[in-house]
Amino acid sequence: MFTSTFPTMSLDLVGIIFLADLSLIAQRTALTGGSTFLDTFILCPGLHRQQDAANVHRGEYPAVAAMTTGYVFRVENPATVNFLQRVGHTGQLTTLSVTNTRKTRKGWRSHFMSSIDSSMSLGAVAAYLLAVSSTIAVSYLLVLTEDWWGLLVLTVLMFTRFINVLLIRSRSRVGWSGASEPGVVGDLLVLLSQDRWVRIRGYVDDLKAWVLSGTCGIDSLQLQDVPIPDPGDYEVLVKFHAASLNFRDIMIANVRSHSSDAAGEIVKVGPKVTRFSTGQRVSPIFHLTHLYGSVKDTDIQHQLGGTYDGVFCEYGVFNEHGCVEIPSTLSYREAATLPCAALTAWNALYGGPRKLKPGDVVLTQGSGGVSIFALQFAKLGGAQVISTTSNAEKGAKLRDLGADVIINYAEDSEWGQTAKSQSHRKRGADFVVEIANTMVQSSQAVANNGCIATIGRRGDSERGAGSSHSSVLATVRRILVGNRQLQEDMNAAIEVSHLKPQIDGLSFKFHELKEAYDYFQQGSHFGKVVVDFD
């Protein structure tokens, strides 16, 4: 995995938010949980943004796994979430090393500092007091010059700010999550939307104002009885019959209902629903608001099993636009494999500016869900498929599915060149489905004007990756699953062609979810691992 590492940061109290932008009044309010009475003297444009403090995180409450203790948290302080969103980058793991240079203050200075704002460093306090002093100085000058109208206007502004401060203090202190636990040293993995990961090592007491949800990992999963929800006006109630597992589920390790891939039957519809009726067989889409076109930031924040509860539940309520009808030729357990892995593979081949055509060459890596679907869709489109694997038994199964060339990458370190030499007319792969952080070899295998579709975590872990990229005339396209229109197109192709998803031979029941994940993590499966609810 590619790791973006920040230099060691020296923090003062909740100084991590100082880096986020202490200049924004809304973020400072979100950090401290309120407003101080000295804010009455802070008069400048944009102060109305202080009331937006609770929304600076754009509605995201990311899950966090404590690597040392196994606990899982949710970040609730909006300013902290905002900071993490800004340092995180899509497809990358950002590592923060946090050190504590806090000094104990005694006497009147300690009392004075805490009365102003316990989250501000000395530099920030100086700037803050300068603004307060400026207002007081202007008031004094207006008195000296006997400019009573000016003084009246200034007094009205300060009175308005005073009322604003009172309202913010009374509102934001209720349920505010911002208190720290001094002296906590840890190692945290924060899972954000847009496939961003932030790892924080060191003094993390300023981040501990989160709600404890349980313990980290598969052992934290608990089966609970909850009421069956009622659909709203534009919603449908789905009774799930099967779900499938993805590697993403392991990364999230969230104790809430997770996973994104399932299929079921609509058992109740809202009064204003027009797309579906009871009895129809559907799957929810991965990004619940990504209906057409390119993915937007708002779409990425609406992920099943991430920012939204997932599908490991018997019943789920979804907006009618967040569901698609499953192919009539598939069973529930077969259709449950489609929303994430299958759509990602379909998008890699058919969702970009250049679409797969007969005679193209496709290179797939390994035998995971995305790679197998890419193999099947490529053969469906009349392409030559070259598949890599390190397992002879899985290689034979890939050949049975239609792979034309099998390359054992464990025995051939230069398999990229080998793939190119064995491609049709030795021109290289028109599409490389890159899932293994092997960009050097992928760059050697891709044809001129070809496309490398990167899936999941992006990384340039191989030496010389950058120079290899620069020597290739190809497009590198990152895939974030796909939109609803693409999924409907894929489902139509599956239905017409009678294509069957590859499902692992070992089956699991709903109450065996932990066992299913244990088996999935071993990596011995071939095809999708499915959990049956019935």
pLDDT tens digit sequence for 27-81: 555 545 456 666 667 665 444 444 555 566 666 777 777 665 555 666 766 667 7
* Same domain assignment for residues 144 and 267: no
Q: Contact, 195 vs 306, CB < 8 A?
A: no
pLDDT reported for residue 164: 67
Q: What percent of the chain has pLDDT over 90?
A: 41
Would the pLDDT of 425 be above 60? yes
* Predicted confidence band of residue 135 (pLDDT cuts 50, 70, 90): confident
Residues 60, 171, single domain; the answer is yes
DSSP 92-115: -EEEEEEEE------THHHHHHHH
pLDDT digits (tens, 9 = 90+) for 103-123: 444 444 544 444 444 444 555
Answer yes or no: do 475 and 491 share one domain.
Answer: no
Q: Is residue 221 part of a domain?
A: no
What gap in Å lies between CA 269 and CA 234, rounded to an integer? 8
Read off the DSSP letter of residue 21. H
468: domain CATH number is 3.40.50.720
The residue that leads in pLDDT, 25 or 165, is 165
Whole-model pTM: value is 0.62
Are 472 and 507 within one domain? no
Nearest to 57 by CA among 34, 26, 36, 33: 26
> Same domain, yes or no, for 428 and 522?
no
Predicted confidence at residue 153, as pLDDT, reads 82
In a domain, 184, yes or no: yes
Mean pLDDT score, 208-212 = 28
Establish if 224 belongs to a structural domain.
no
Residues 328 and 407 in one domain: no
Number of domains into which the chain is organized = 3
Q: How confident is the model at residue 391 (pLDDT cuts 50, 70, 90)?
A: very high
Q: Label residue 264 by pLDDT band (50, 70, 90).
A: very high
225-234, 372-381, 479-488, 495-504: the lowest-pLDDT one: 225-234
Question: What's the distance, Cα to Cα, between the start and end of the chain in Å?
Answer: 38
Domain membership of residue 455 as a residue range: 352-481
Residue 6 has pLDDT above 50, yes or no: no
Q: What is the SS3 assignment for 363?
A: strand
Which of 51-55, 164-168, 274-278, 348-352 shows the lowest per-residue confidence on average (mean pLDDT)?
Answer: 51-55
Estimate to the nearest angstrom the gap between the alpha carbon of 184 and the chain centroid.
Answer: 26
Which CATH number belongs to the domain containing residue 314 in this structure? Answer: 3.90.180.10
Structure tokens belonging to residue 75: 């970040």
Position 111 scores a pLDDT of 45
Shared domain check, 492 and 464: no
Span 496-517, average pLDDT? 91
Q: Which of 465, 481, 497 is the last residue of a domain?
A: 481
User: Quick one: how far is CA 516 from the chain centroid?
Assistant: 23
Confidence (pLDDT) at 124: 57
Single out the residue of 230, 281, 301 nearest to residue 81, CA to CA. 301
- Residue 360 is predicted with a pLDDT of 98
CA distance 282 to 501: 17
Alpha-carbon distances, residue 197 vs 11, 86, 88, 320, 517 (angstroms)? 21, 12, 6, 31, 22
26 plus 50 within the same structural domain:
yes
Question: Which run of H or E residues covers position 441?
Answer: helix 439-445
pLDDT of residue 376 exceeding 90, the answer is yes
Say if residue 298 is in the same domain as residue 426.
no
Asked whether residue 271 falls in the same domain as residue 123, the answer is no
Task: Enter the tokens of residue 375.
Answer: 């193999």
pLDDT band at 456 (very low <50, low <70, confident <90, very high): low
How many other β-carbons are positioned within 10 Å of the β-carbon of residue 118? 12
Q: Is residue 363 one of the residues assigned to a domain? A: yes
Q: Are residues 164 and 43 both part of a single domain?
A: yes
**pLDDT above 50 (res 207):** no
pLDDT value at residue 467: 44
Final residue before a domain boundary, out of 481, 501, 517 = 481
Who contacts 434 (Cβ-Cβ below 8 Å, separation ≥6)? 365, 442, 452, 453, 454, 455
The sign one gets for the Cα dihedral 104, 109, 113, 115 is positive
The helix (run of H) or strand (run of E) holding residue 521 is: helix 513-522
pLDDT at 461: 42
> Are residues 12 and 134 both part of a single domain?
yes
Position 58 scores a pLDDT of 67
In this prediction, residue 258 has a pLDDT band, given cuts at 50, 70 and 90, of low
Question: How would you list the strands of the sheet with 429-434, edge to edge?
Answer: 405-408, 384-389, 361-365, 429-434, 446-455, 474-479
Among 443, 458, 481, give the residue marking a domain's end.
Answer: 481
